[in-house]
């Protein structure tokens, strides 16, 4: 099982996207998992990714607490993250953004999904304090 972030402009992405059975998830700014922090120039890439890791933890913490009690549509961040994890259990998963192969917030998502798989736990059972240690 591979979790890989792909650049939406790349030939690899184009090839994979042509096959509907591939598990490709959009994580660009339009996605619930998108990085909301602007990157006005290349020198701010690391900062945008670091801010995203903090944002990810806060959003994860908030939505994880309510996930069992609310409709999935009302918690889009956690719902999409859970969907990525569920699909990763069946095979390769691709995260589509515009940054790769440069540093990307997709690395944060990959780290969390891989951690959940390694621990054999659903996301609802992984407290954010555990994730702070790995992010």
* Residue located via tokens 């339009």: 30
Alpha-carbon separation of residue 5 from 12, 51, 65, 91, 130 (angstroms): 11, 19, 27, 15, 23
Q: Distance between CA 17 and CA 21 in Å, rounded?
A: 9
* Residue located via tokens 């994580």: 27
* Residue located via tokens 């042509």: 18
pLDDT tens digit string along 71-119? 877 899 999 999 999 999 899 999 999 999 999 999 999 999 999 999 9
Model-level pTM greater than 0.85? yes
Which ranges constitute the DSSP H helices of the chain?
A: 11-17, 45-66, 76-88, 106-119, 128-134
* Residue located via tokens 């891989």: 114
- Helices 76-88 and 45-66: angle between axes, nearest 10 degrees: 90
pLDDT tens digit string along 8-32? 999 999 999 999 999 999 999 999 9
pLDDT at 45: 97
State the burial class of residue 89 (Cβ atoms within 10 Å of its Cβ: 0-12, 13-18, 19+).
Answer: exposed
What does the domain layout of the chain look like in residue ranges? 3-134
Local confidence band at 70 (pLDDT 50, 70, 90 cut-offs): confident
Cβ neighbour number for residue 24 with a 10 Å cutoff: 18
- Closest among 56, 63, 62, 65 to 108, alpha carbons compared: 56
DSSP 35: -
């Amino acid at each position: 099982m591979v979790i890989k972030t792909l650049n939406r402009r790349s030939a690899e992405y184009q090839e994979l996207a042509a096959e509907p059975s591939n598990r490709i998830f959009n994580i660009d700014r339009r996605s619930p998992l998108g990085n909301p922090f602007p990157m006005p120039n290349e020198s701010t890439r690391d900062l945008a990714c670091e801010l995203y890791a903090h944002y990810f933890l806060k959003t994860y913490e908030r939505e994880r607490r309510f996930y069992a009690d609310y409709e999935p549509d009302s918690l889009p961040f956690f719902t999409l993250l859970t969907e990525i994890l569920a699909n990763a259990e069946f095979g390769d998963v691709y995260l589509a953004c515009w940054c790769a192969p440069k540093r990307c917030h997709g690395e944060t998502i990959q780290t969390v999904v891989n951690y959940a798989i390694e621990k054999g736990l659903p996301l609802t059972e992984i407290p954010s304090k555990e994730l702070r240690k790995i992010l």
